[in-house]
Amino acid sequence: MNIWITGASSGIGLALAQHYAALGHRVLLSARNEAALAAALASLNPANGEAYPLDVTDEAAVAATVAAIEAAHGPIDLAILNAGTYAPVRAAEFTSAAARQMMDVNYFGLCHGLGALIPRFMARGRGQIAAMSSVAGYCGLPYAATYSAAKSAVHRLCESLAPELAVAGVQLSLINPGFVATPLTARNDFPMPFLIGAEEAAERIARGIAQGRFEIRFPRRLAWLLRLLANLPYPLYFALTRRMLRAP
């Protein structure tokens, strides 16, 4: 099976690449940092993959990468659109530039991947796509305004596309992790409930994809807590989220 993974140089993307390589699949890795990508490729056991450096915010480059992979290896069977970024933003520091950057990577970067893959997969009548989002997309959380907004957009996008793709024989999965120990979450300066390792996250994601699940969410306790929070009346919702605020 040919598996293309974006954001594959570290964190969940790297753990997924290592997981699938160990199962004997051909893994095609993409990320912006070429040195980190080369190191990720070298870590695969067995060495069953190839690196395709890529900035997902470049739509033409994404389309060219998909075409190059399929020209060299045949059809992509599974694409995991994992590339993303995160930065906490306090209200006093909010700028439209910060919001645009978050959307460019986490939302439009994923859209570029979908735009390159969907016509090919629908024409073949098969294929699997997994889109990385987050439980932070369930509701707006303090200090995560730009991140939660981008991930919420991914949720609505995938919910809208899934029925048509399913009719065409294409499986779309939405991945909603909680806190996973990665270089991105290492930036957090607060306790992260139900934190799990990247390897465990990769195993849960791979299992959910294999089972054909639309939403792959974990850990379940955190996911359900945030779903509950999102459905509370706003007076109670804001009373609880204000408790999450920290001193400047």
Average pLDDT, the chain: 95
| Region label for 153, one of left (φ > 0), alpha (ψ between -120 and 50) or beta (otherwise) | alpha
Cis peptide before 46 (omega within 30 of 0): yes
Contact between 131 and 175 (Cβ < 8 Å): yes
CA distance 103 to 156: 14
With cut-offs at 50, 70 and 90, classify the pLDDT of residue 109: very high
Active site residues: 147
Regarding pTM above 0.85, the answer is yes
Architecture of domain 2-242: 3-Layer(aba) Sandwich (3.40)
In tens, the pLDDT along 131-177 reads 999 999 999 999 999 999 999 999 999 999 999 999 999 999 999 99
